[in-house]
Every structure is written in C-alpha cells, then in structure tokens.
C-alpha cells in the first residue's frame, strides 16, 4: 500500500511570505513529495491504467470508464449530503449539494464525447479481451441508481463473491433513497402522504403515487420567493434530467460502437438499455407538470 505524505497546511501569511522569498516565481524545491501529488495522488491515478491489448484506442475506453467511475462516486457523495440535510429538515442547505450533483452529472455526460470516435471496427479490436466485463457490473453505478430510487435487489447478485462491495450495496438497499426522504419531508411539511408510502419496503423501487403527484402540484402552485420546496423540486428535476441524459448518451454510444449486438455481460445489449430507460427517476416530479 502506498504511504501517503501528509499535506502541510499553510496560512495566507505563509503563502505571502513564500511568494516574497521566491520573487513571485513558483517554489521548485521540496523536502518531500511534491505537495500537489501528495494531495491529488496524481502519480497513483496515472498508474491505474492497464490496457489488455496493444490497440491505442483501448486506453481511451479504459480511462473514460475510470473517469465515469469517479463521477459516479462524486455524485453519490453529493446526494448523500443532500439526504442528510433533508432528514434534518434543512431544505435550503440541501440545495447546494444537489446543484453540485447536477453539475457533476454534466461532467459525466461530457465524458461520452471522448468515445465518439469508436466504430464497431474500433471496438472489436479489443472487445474480446474484455471477456464478460461490462459497465452493467459497476458497483458505484448501482449505488447511484439506488440513491436515485431505481432499485432492484437482484442487481447486487454479481457482487456476492466480493463481500465488502456486496455488504455496501445491501446496506444501500436497506436505507431510504433520496426520493423516499423527499416524500417523508413532504409528510413532515403537512402534506397527507399515506402511511403505506412512508412505511414501505425501501429495498424495492418506488411506484408513482397520485397523492405525491398532487403534493407537488400544490408546491409549484406557490410562486413565492420563500417556497423552498419548489426550489427543491427544481434542483431534483435538474439531477433527474442530467441522469436521464447520461442514460441516453449510453444508448447512443452503444449504438455507435456495437449496434444491436448482445452485451459483453450477457444482456441483450441495446434492447436491455432501452428498456431500462423506462424507469423514471423522481416520477411524480414529472407527472405533476401535466396538472400544473
């Protein structure tokens, strides 16, 4: 395991004194590891790419996949932060992490641009070496789906041999999703949410309910500047829309690089992805707009 060099804090006064000593030039001598590398661990990140073939295009596929994994984790971090604020009834404080999550999802979507060069012929040069490896098997993507309320307990089965990952996914299924917490918040704010929704089995996927839809119609009916619930609805809508964009870009990338061939992980490939698009994130936020 790599030993991490501590990053020594510096005050504004120390930074100003160093700049004066350096005559405005950057510091070029350090007693230990370069501080940037100690913090970002860039040298570690750039050793994590191990292509399986000599094809030069495989590095793009591998690194873009790793970048997406980092964005999955970062978005999960923000959504969990938002959950904590909502559980504490701090709607205003939940808005910044939700806005950041939407921006991170924009970065995630932009990552697809790095694979637009890949035709079926390009992908076929290294695809066989991936074996049964598939993005379907991303544990962090499952965490993101679970947080957003897209839940299917069967999808954690591939990780049963990875006990730590399996335990983390099982735990994620056992606690409320972000949308479950939003529905509970509506109840605490005086909306009459049925008990069967508040006490439901959270390991299963939330099904759209007309009472929740009606609550959002009422929320949006108040256009006042102090209506934090409406601001919350818009922040959540932005997250859902950007996540939907990612799923659409995924479908287009698959069409571009492999058409309707079967997936590497055993699925029907394109057809399976298209069916998954029918699962809506925060469904009542969308259906309520028809009644507004």
Residue ranges for the known binding site are 127, 250
- Triad 46, 110, 91: Cα angle to 5°: 105
Q: Which token pair is 241?
A: 């829309």
If you count DSSP H runs as helices and E runs as strands, how many of each does the chain have, helices first? 14, 0
Cβ distance 91 to 185 under 8 Å? Answer: yes
Q: Which token pair is 182?
A: 């939003």
Q: How far apart are the first and last CA of the chain?
A: 56
Query: Residues 29, 30, 34, 35: is their CA dihedral positive or negative?
Result: negative
Three-class DSSP category at 280: coil
Query: Residues 106, 238, 278, 144: is their CA dihedral positive or negative?
Result: positive
Please report, in range form, the residues annotated as the binding site for substrate: 127
- Triad 188, 231, 189: Cα angle to 5°: 10
Cβ distance 126 to 58 under 8 Å? Answer: yes
Please report, in range form, the residues annotated as the binding site for heme: 250
Cβ distance 283 to 260 under 8 Å? Answer: no
Query: Residue 97: is it exposed, middle or buried by C-beta count within 10 angstroms (0-12/13-18/19+)?
Result: buried
Cβ distance 148 to 243 under 8 Å? Answer: yes
Residues 6+ away with beta carbon under 8 Å from 116: 253, 256
């Amino acid at each position: 395991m790599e030993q991490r060099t501590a990053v020594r804090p510096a005050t504004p006064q120390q930074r100003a004194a160093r700049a004066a000593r350096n005559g405005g030039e950057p510091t070029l001598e350090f007693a230990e590891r370069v501080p940037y590398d100690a913090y970002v661990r860039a040298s570690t990140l750039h050793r994590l790419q191990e292509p399986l073939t000599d094809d030069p295009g495989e590095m793009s596929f591998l690194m873009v996949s790793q970048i997406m994994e980092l964005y999955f984790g970062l978005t999960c971090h923000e959504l969990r932060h938002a959950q904590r604020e909502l559980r504490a009834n701090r709607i205003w404080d939940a808005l910044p992490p939700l806005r950041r999550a939407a921006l991170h999802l924009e970065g995630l979507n932009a990552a697809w641009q790095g694979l637009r060069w890949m035709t079926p012929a390009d992908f076929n040069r290294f695809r066989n070496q991936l074996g049964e490896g598939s993005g379907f098997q991303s544990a962090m993507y499952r965490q993101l789906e679970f947080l957003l309320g897209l839940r299917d307990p069967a999808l954690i089965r591939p990780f049963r041999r990875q006990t730590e990952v399996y335990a983390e996914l099982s735990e994620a299924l056992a606690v409320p999703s972000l949308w479950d917490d939003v529905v509970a918040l509506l109840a605490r704010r005086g909306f009459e949410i049925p008990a069967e929704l508040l006490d439901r089995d959270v390991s299963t996927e939330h099904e759209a309910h007309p009472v929740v839809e009606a609550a959002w119609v009422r929320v949006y009916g108040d256009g006042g500047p102090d209506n934090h619930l409406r601001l919350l609805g818009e922040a959540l809508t932005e997250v859902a829309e950007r996540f939907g964009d990612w799923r659409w870009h995924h479908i287009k990338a698959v069409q571009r690089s492999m058409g309707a061939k079967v997936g590497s992980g055993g699925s029907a490939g394109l057809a399976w992805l298209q069916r998954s698009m029918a699962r809506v994130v925060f469904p009542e936020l969308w259906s309520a707009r028809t009644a507004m």
